[in-house]
Homo-oligomer: A and B are copies of this chain.
Amino acid sequence: MGAVSRRNVTDHRQSGRRATIRDVAALAGVSHQTVSRVINGSSKVTESTRERVLGAIRELSYVPSPMARGLISNRTRSLGMVSAEISDHSFAEAVAGAEAETRKRGYYLIVASVEDESRDDERGYLRLMLARRVEGLIIARPSVPLSSEQLLPAVAAGVPLVAIGSSELPGFTVVDVDNVDGGRQATAFLVAQGHRRIATITGPHEWPSAQARLEGYRKALRAGRIAADRSLVETSPDWGLEAGQAAMKRLLERATPFTALFAQSDLIALGAMRELRARGLRVPDDVSVVGYDDIPVAEFVHPALTTVRQPIRGVGAVAARIVLDRLASEDARDGDSGPQRHLLPAELVVRETVASPRGT
């Protein structure tokens, strides 16, 4: 018997084929079923046989085939994530957060990074993921308005789906940073410093976060009993520096005086500051500025940018957690907890670009 076992080991090695559960069984001198029990921690195995099996597993460096397991269990232990370009720092953070959480729970994450131009092919990516039999989905494409119709394939497959940064999505859970409160904090801080004429440059209107931050801005003004002035609100066609500079130019040309600016992204803030500098206006002496995002360079520009930090990594992690929890509860058959909206708090980071208005 011992000799036979040895031969099996040799067979398996020479053939270059991976060891299977039967190879292990043969080497340990038990049935493949017993090996399965050992692997899956079934208690009903004698300690001595258990050790013999474990030894065989080690000797053959046996690793169970996820395909064979998945075939019978109908589970892949994988999540799919469709994200906007991950070369954008925010989305990279979201993916990193989701990936870490997913891995921690013994699942793995399949990521598709989608260029922003390719709109409307959400369904294609979903189908790709579903064809891989992912058990859950995370969608992080806030600039693309998702319709329930687009997400139909996922629903049909009964796969839990969570969106990141999208606007309210009937029937689906959305995770996001609390942009309303972020905008409110930024603006309220300016109000608290004594500013009453506060301009703002919003991000592109198709982004829900831009709307939310604007809402927060208005909220803070109301709280400070400051009348909103439409001519102090300008929209930037994208989140970048040059667009921010152009927006600031338009704002200044309106000749409505202001002493502070809330820019909805750090790059917009940087562009605005550049325009101010070009006109001989100083920050924060002439105009105070608050940005949004806390990008890596924000603390290094001069003067260092006061801004709002977003826990994007946390958003990714929470999204993954929700999907995985739903998967787990499905096992326990305790029903759906239903769609929700999860908001993580933003945090104001005070640095050097805000001062009290002149003459106070």
The CA of A133 and the CA of B70, in the complex, are separated in Å by 13
Stretch at the interface among A103-111, A168-176, A194-202: A103-111
The reply to whether the CB of A99 lies closer than 8 angstroms to some CB of chain B is yes
Number of A residues near B (Cβ < 8 Å) is 45
- In the complex, the count of this chain's copies comes to 2
Interface residues of A in 80-96 (CB under 8 A from B): 85-87, 89, 92-93, 95-96
Interface residues of A in 147-181 (CB under 8 A from B): 156-158
The reply to whether the CB of A227 lies closer than 8 angstroms to some CB of chain B is no
The CA of A300 and the CA of B93, in the complex, are separated in Å by 23
A110, B110: Cβ atoms closer than 8 Å: yes
Stretch at the interface among A60-68, A183-191, A251-259, A347-355: A60-68
Residues of B contacting A113 in the complex (Cβ-Cβ under 8 angstroms): 95-96, 99-100
**Chain B nearest Cβ from A103, distance in angstroms:** 6
The reply to whether the CB of A112 lies closer than 8 angstroms to some CB of chain B is yes
Q: Which of B87, B99, B156 is close to A112, meaning CB atoms less than 8 Å apart? A: B99
The CA of A295 and the CA of B297, in the complex, are separated in Å by 11
A300, B270: Cβ atoms closer than 8 Å: yes
Residues of B contacting A92 in the complex (Cβ-Cβ under 8 angstroms): 86-87, 89, 92
B241, A65: Cβ atoms closer than 8 Å: no
B110, A109: Cβ atoms closer than 8 Å: yes
- A108-134 CB mask vs B (1 if < 8 Å, else 0) is 111111000000000000001011110
**Chain B nearest Cβ from A159, distance in angstroms:** 11
- A136-148 CB mask vs B (1 if < 8 Å, else 0) is 0000000000000
Residues of B contacting A225 in the complex (Cβ-Cβ under 8 angstroms): none
A99, B111: Cβ atoms closer than 8 Å: yes
Interface residues of A in 307-337 (CB under 8 A from B): 313
The reply to whether the CB of A16 lies closer than 8 angstroms to some CB of chain B is yes
The CA of A14 and the CA of B255, in the complex, are separated in Å by 67
The reply to whether the CB of A211 lies closer than 8 angstroms to some CB of chain B is no
Closest 3 CB pairs of A and B: A67-B70, A92-B92, A67-B71
Which residues of A line the B interface, CB within 8 A?
16, 18, 61, 63, 65-68, 70-71, 76, 85-87, 89, 92-93, 95-96, 99-100, 103, 108-113, 128, 130-133, 156-158, 241-242, 270-271, 274, 297, 300, 302, 313
25 pairs, CB–CB < 8 Å, chain A vs chain B? A16-B158, A66-B132, A67-B67, A67-B70, A67-B71, A67-B76, A67-B133, A68-B71, A86-B86, A86-B95, A86-B96, A87-B89, A87-B93, A89-B89, A89-B92, A95-B111, A95-B113, A96-B113, A99-B113, A100-B113, A103-B112, A108-B110, A108-B132, A109-B110, A242-B300
